[in-house]
A and B are shown apart, each in its own frame.
Chain A
Amino acid sequence: MTTANTSSIWGTLFRKPVAWHQQVASKWAKTPFFSGIPLKEIEKLSKNMHLRTFQADEYIFHNGDQGAGAAIILSGEIEIRVKKTVLAQLSEGDFFGEVSLVLDERRTADAIALTNCELAFFLRPELEEWTQRVPHHASKLTTNLARVLAHRLLHANQLLAQRRSR
């Protein structure tokens, strides 16, 4: 108990405060998106990401909005809907909107904050710039991105097959 208190006092005095981009980087590092990419590189990239806070019930984006990139949830919960059908409920550490990292298309679903939440956006132009800066890491990320999207496609195919068999 004493040790814990002491460590917390000394820790509070001398511990370097964790910068927001490091928190963002640690969250991204746990996703399949950034697997195999060094944390330091993700931290550098995270410096250019965009922190946004949303109130409960606020739309993060609407179906038909011009999409610019993916977002990771730092805190709070969100829901992905198409009309009134709920596609997914996401919480801290989950990411969404990754199709916009590859395609310059409009969003195909609504994203709504269920609670107050904090998100970090990673935009397509930043991925393009990063590709120029560190092509070897960027190519790893695009392979990961392709894997994530391929899994989604397989999942969608399975759902479609199940529906048809009914």
Chain B
Amino acid sequence: MIGVLFERPILRALLVSTGIIMFAFLLMVLFKPVIFPILASFVLYALLQPLRNKLISIGFSDVVAILLILTALVTVLITSMILVIPMLIDQLSELQTRLPNLWNQILIWLKQVTLRLAETTGQHFDSEATLKSSLSNAQSWGTDTILNSATLLMQTAMALFLIPIITYFMLRDFQQLRNKLMGFIPNQGFELAWLIYYKIGKQLQRYLRGVMLQSTIISVIATAGFLLLGLDMALLFGLLTGLLNLIPYVGPLLSLIPPFVVTLSSPELDTVLLLGIPCVILLVQVIDNLFIVPTVIAQTVNLHPLVVLLGIVVFGASFGFLGMLLAIPAMTAGKIMFQGLLYGLQGEGPNFQSQT
């Protein structure tokens, strides 16, 4: 009975895909401490590989092409660090000085709310105790955040050091390593495996280029919008909006929080800003969904919204923010793999490329 079931292409495709996905998941768990630099290097590899091909086609040797690309990359990284990072640090420290104001504001509101509640219901709430416990929680959260930030800073420094090195070796040796690994695939499935690999690679490369472009456009529009509103730290929040937009559905909502926090922390409440921030985010979303997604992203990702949402929750719970960013490309790869295996195992019917 089980043997007969296993002869069905759909079950075999499902079983093989599940096995590969679980293996990939296990690898990600094992390499969790260095997962960020490895993935960032993969992203850079995918983005820079066509440029390398272009340089080789002009007449540069392989090594010279790689070195030229990496020199340009490191120069861009250092220049942007020199130009943007001090500005971001200034804006972050400003945010830090404003946080006590926000707490005070919350305290005042809470007092007002409890007073009103007491007036209308006739019952008194112990707002002082609630506030004290909330504050102590907030204090410990703050300490944790600072400690986490220190670790994050260390990890970022490590990543910045590792990324160019890993990218160099990937550009130089990845194809040979990949060929060796693919050599372990049995003769029967080797052609199909290569087709699936190339299809996934092409689709992910297209997706990556698309989201990079999308993120840049959204960051520019959001920064311009925030600047027009007169919001402090407009650059920081604009960049954050572009980055958070990579997380479907949840990202735009998350990008509302930081500018709101800053507006609420100012000594006098600015209602224009409070109304303007959601308008900017809404405008960004309209532009994104009407113009950017249909032209840049839609062709590369074709997943059901529910699958996307569940994927974001599962990946987010397992790998944090990075997992949320990874959810869509990982699920796209899984889908292509399953479809490719299914069409390959069916042995008849339409071809794989036109179906995916």
Answer whether A and B are interacting partners: yes
Interface positions of A from 122 to 142, Cβ below 8 Å from B: 123, 125, 129, 132-135
Interchain pairs with CB closer than 8 A, number: 62
Which chain B residues numbered 300 to 349 have a C-beta less than 8 Å away from chain A? 343-344, 347-348
A132 touches B50 (CB 8 A): yes
Question: Are A104 and B354 CB-contacts (below 8 A) given A66-B344, A133-B53, A133-B57?
Answer: yes
A48 touches B175 (CB 8 A): yes
Does B220 count as interface, using CB distance less than 8 angstroms? Answer: no
Q: A69: shortest Cβ distance to chain B, in Å?
A: 7
- Interface stretch among B154-162, B192-200, B240-248, B265-273? B192-200
Shortest B179–chain A CB gap in Å is: 7
Closest chain B CB from A64 CB (angstroms): 4
Contacts of B168 in A (CB 8 A): none
Chain B residues near A135: list those with CB within 8 A. 57
User: A interface, how many residues as a size bin?
Assistant: 20 to 34
In which size bucket is the chain B interface? 20 to 34
| Interface: A81 (CB within 8 A) | no
Residue in A closest to B340 when the chains form the complex, CB atoms:
A66
Q: In the complex the two chains form, is A66's CB within 8 Å of B190's CB?
A: no
**Nearest CB to that of A67 among chain B residues?**
B191
Where chain B touches its partner, the secondary structure class is: helix
CA A66 – CA B195 in complex, angstroms? 9
Is there contact, CB below 8 Å, between B57 and A66? no
Contact with B along A48-60 (1 / 0, CB 8 A): 1011101000111
- Whether B97 is near chain A, meaning CB under 8 Å from some CB there, is no
Looking at the assembled complex, report how far the CB atom of A119 sits from the nearest CB atom of chain B, in whole angstroms.
Answer: 10
Besides the known contacts A58-B187, A65-B191, A68-B195, 15 further A-B residue pairs in the complex with CB atoms under 8 A apart? A48-B179, A50-B182, A51-B183, A61-B191, A66-B344, A68-B191, A68-B192, A68-B194, A69-B191, A106-B348, A121-B190, A123-B198, A125-B195, A132-B50, A133-B53
